[in-house]
Structure 1
Amino acid sequence: MSEIESGWLLEVAPHYYKGRELEDATNKKMPKNKGKSGKDLER
């Protein structure tokens, strides 16, 4: 098994994938969790 690199996807299928969609997500901000969790809803 090997890891798929985003550059490979752009080479193989540039008509399907956009560069912006395949950017490295490790440095992006994650959305804050809003709302109640399942435990909170059971109460």
Structure 2
Amino acid sequence: MSAKDLFHDAVKQALIRDGWTITDDPLVVRYGLTNLKVDLAQNE
């Protein structure tokens, strides 16, 4: 797993307080042999 930056947890908590539901932390997207990691994901 990649390292989270200094602000990751603070931003995540701010989004949760604003009503977001974090569904993945990180969101892993697989495309062929490539794996991408997105910091946070929310279903709409």
Q: Same fold (TM over 0.5)?
A: no
| Higher Rg | 1
Q: Which is bigger in relative contact order (C-alpha 8 A, separation at least 6)?
A: 2
Larger strand percent: 2
Larger helix percent: 1
